[in-house]
Amino acid sequence: MGYTLTEKILREHLADGSYAPGKEIGIKIDQTLTQDATGTMAYLQFESMGLSEIATELSVSYVDHNTIQVGFENADDHAYLESIAKKYGIYFSRPGNGICHQVHLERFARPGKTLLGSDSHTPTAGGVGSIAMGAGGLDVAVAMGGGAYYLTAPQVINVHLTGSLRPWVTAKDVVLKVLKHLTTKGNVGCVCEYTGEGIDNLTVPERATITNMGAETGVTTSIFPSDRQTYKFLEAQGRGDQWVPLAADDDAKYDRTIEIDLSKIEPLAAAPHSPGNIVAVNDLNLPVDQVMIGSCTNSSYVDLMTVARMVKGKTLPAGVSLGIAPGSRQVLNTIAANGALSDLISFGARILESACGFCIGNSMSPRTDSVSVRTSNRNFKGRSGTPSANVYLTSPVVAAAAALTGRLADPRTLNIDFPRVDMPDRFQIDDRMIIPPLPQSERAAIKISRGPNIGEPPVNGPMPEDISGVITIKVGDLVTTDHIMPAGARLKYRSNVPKYSEFVFEPLDREFPSRAQALRNKGSHNIIVAGQSYGQGSSREHAALCPMYLGVKAVLAKSIERIHAANLVNFGIIPFSFADESNYDTLAGGEEIRVSDIRRALQLGDDVVKAMVAGREMLLKMSLSKRQRDILLAGGLLPYTVQGRKGN
């Protein structure tokens, strides 16, 4: 029996374990990427491992999230990251050079390679046939040091595409259609592999839009084969020599197949407040206050050129504001050189830096109770910075139509010709804002820059004999990492864990940090109780690290998303699930909870443990590999890794 493309690449990189779907495997990582918001902590942790250089083929440090620089904190972080890159042989993509995923796709991603990134949209590089996964910063730090990355050998879903897209229907609508099929939950441990003749006409940037937002389904990654389109893209980026053909075997067996006829897709939108809340744009007809075009999902050259062609010579209606953030300096410079940027400015667009910006809610928050149409990938409540805003996620052409008319409506009713824009044969290549690794001989002299915003990462002690504490908070279903550790204006405290910890669960319960600290100081453990798909969204390990700092020892949830579950283990917090889900309803915040002999249960490999909750008995499940149990016993991945090195 043949292999899927996913299995082929994973098998080639197998470093630990034997390959069987559902089982934990360790794989060798060829490339890593970090961005500034997760990167400082990743590199602080890398430093505490005491290595002298990186062991990957290529590691890149991007600055794209915190580029607003209100106060000294962001600039301190940037300086730290630049000095670390010089010290350890890492490429450094300077602020303004673009969003990590867009730039990585343009300049570094390669077919058949494994890429681990400290950002959940790392699967963007699946558009060129990489196995590209998001992970917590600590996992990325370990991979940079040459350690294997551990994941569950995935189930592979065949997303079989036929037909071709009609005018006004784009790659964004394809991924929204996939989200309609898969929803945002229940896909942990799966990979989406795209096949079928429908992919032949999809360019790499279009494929990257699809693999990027595949992250919202919760799959480990998404991947396209490496074919003629891949060659065309790499050649246009001056990297044709890095192309290799790659595809699944003809007789590959998939766990599941989803059939999508591209010619039947309509323009779609994700309605508030979830990327899985898919509706046909034709069914909407809403007044719009704000339109934001950009983000790592939709800010390629073709995306922005199409928008520019649509709005050329027109005027932005009163009452609507339009912001555009080109994905990279390459894109921005190209549209500047060919005049399209001027068309956008003339129309009334506010041009923003090539960075995450509005997507992470650090700027351009819309007004109270407004409708904001965005081309990004997440519309969680409050992510825009305005809790009462209604954010709809759409393609750039739907967004441009909304900017033209002030209404979110089907662009086909505009009665204008679809402006078809082709990918150029040669992109504008200028890597001067990417600092390459320094020669080995010059690295020793580099002094690491540490401003007052750079704090030591806290390290946990070993797992205690018993967990004994209180349900410090009980939350519902679909709690995202944005709820646990807010981004936006709070993002600048990422390198300072005690300070950032003051905002844990800020959108849900402002008293949580003080309550948790008071309990921790009394020697009591804090326990979080949650519903389904806890920890959806970003890869930010702070959603585990800061709770750890506040004395959280366990999360007891109906289900936990992949990256977040791994982050919990990495910081010594046990991810429990209910043996009987109906027990969730019986629990209340403030109740005392005790799990006796937890160390012994972890050592023995028990799958089920008994908890006493306010005198009632309850069974809790632990689905953990031997390695994860050892990490928990040690108090987290950092003490586990350091102990391992000392032991060697």
How many whole angstroms separate alpha carbon 213 and alpha carbon 296?
9
541 lies in the site for ligand MIC, by CB under 6 A? no
504 binds ligand SF4 (CB under 6 A): no
The count of other CB atoms within 10 Å of the CB of residue 636 is 27
Q: Does 38 bind ligand MIC (CB under 6 A)?
A: yes
Amino acid at 447: K
Q: Is 632 in the site for ligand SF4 (CB under 6 A)?
A: no
- Quick one: what does residue 539 bind among ligand MIC, ligand SF4, none, with the CB cut-off 5 to 8 Å set by partner type? ligand MIC
Q: Which is nearer to ligand MIC, 254 or 358 (CB)?
A: 358
Least Å distance between CB 328 and ligand SF4?
11
According to the 3-state scheme, what is the secondary structure of 260-323? EEHHHCCCEEECCCCCCCEEEHHHCCEECCEEEECCCCCCCHHHHHHHHHHHCCCCCCCCCEEE
Q: How many CB atoms lie within 10 A of CB 337?
A: 10
Q: Is 213 in the site for ligand SF4 (CB under 6 A)?
A: no
Candidate residues 31, 152, 539, 641; the one interacting with ligand MIC per rule CB under 6 A? 539
99 binds, among ligand SF4, ligand MIC, none (CB under 5 to 8 A by kind): ligand SF4
Angstrom distance (rounded) from CA 265 to CA 261? 7
Contacts of 51 (CB under 8 A, 6+ apart): 88, 145
Selection from ligand MIC, ligand SF4, none that 386 binds (CB < 5 to 8 A by kind) is: none
Query: Does 97 help bind ligand SF4 (rule: CB under 6 A)?
Result: no
Q: Is 77 in the site for ligand MIC (CB under 6 A)?
A: no
Site for ligand SF4, residues 370 to 399, rule: CB under 6 A? 376-377
**Minimum separation from the CB atom of position 299 to ligand SF4 (A):** 8
Shortest Å distance, C-beta 426 to ligand MIC: 30
- Interface with ligand MIC, residue 28, by CB under 6 A: no
Reading the block at residue 643, the tokens are: 């102990």
Torsion-angle region of residue 518: left (phi > 0), alpha (psi -120 to 50) or beta?
alpha
Tokens representing residue 18 in the block:
């034997």
**Minimum distance from CB of 49 to ligand MIC (Å)?**
21
Interactions with ligand SF4, residue window 105-144 (CB under 6 A): 119, 121
Query: For ligand MIC, which is the closer residue by CB, 153 or 485?
Result: 485
Q: What is the spatial distance between Cα 360 and Cα 384, in angstroms, rounded to a whole number?
A: 7
384 binds, among ligand MIC, ligand SF4, none (CB under 5 to 8 A by kind): none
Rg (CA), the chain: 24
Q: Does 296 bind ligand SF4 (CB under 6 A)?
A: yes
The entry of ligand SF4, ligand MIC, none near residue 460 (CB within 5 to 8 angstroms by kind) is none
Tell me the two tokens of residue 207: 């494929």
Q: Least Å distance between CB 224 and ligand SF4?
A: 19
Q: Are strands 221-223 and 190-195 parallel, antiparallel or unpaired?
A: parallel
Return the one option of ligand MIC, ligand SF4, none that residue 385 interacts with (CB less than 5 to 8 A, by type). none
Q: Tell the smallest beta-carbon distance from residue 324 to ligand MIC (Å).
A: 18
Q: What is the DSSP letter of 105?
A: H
Distance CA 6, CA 10 (A): 6
Among 320, 360, 371, 543, binds ligand SF4 (CB under 6 A): 360
Say how many residues touch ligand MIC, by CB under 6 A: 13
Count of residues interacting with ligand SF4 (CB under 6 A): 11
Is 45 or 295 the residue whose CB approaches ligand SF4 more closely? 295
Distance of CA 427 to the CA centre of its chain: 26
376 binds, among ligand SF4, ligand MIC, none (CB under 5 to 8 A by kind): ligand SF4
120 lies in the site for ligand MIC, by CB under 6 A: yes
Q: Report 196-255 residues binding ligand MIC (CB under 6 A).
A: none
Q: Which distant-in-sequence residues (6+ apart) come within 8 Å of 268 by Cβ?
A: 172, 173, 176, 177, 180, 278, 279, 280, 281, 394
Q: Which residues make Cβ contacts (< 8 Å) with residue 495, sequence separation at least 6? A: 40, 41, 44, 73, 76, 77, 80, 453, 454, 455
- Write down the least CB distance from residue 213 to ligand SF4, Å: 9
Determine the interface stretch with ligand SF4 among 103-111, 356-364, 386-394, 516-524 (rule: CB under 6 A): 356-364
What is the C-alpha end-to-end distance of the chain, expressed in Å? Answer: 40
Short-list 239, 210, 236, CA closest to 223: 210
The Cα 124–Cα 120 span in angstroms is 9
The smaller minimum CB distance to ligand SF4, of residues 297 and 460, is found at 297
- The footprint of ligand SF4 (CB under 6 A) covers 65, 99, 119, 121, 295-296, 356, 359-360, 376-377
- The footprint of ligand MIC (CB under 6 A) covers 37-38, 65, 119-121, 134, 360, 487, 537-540
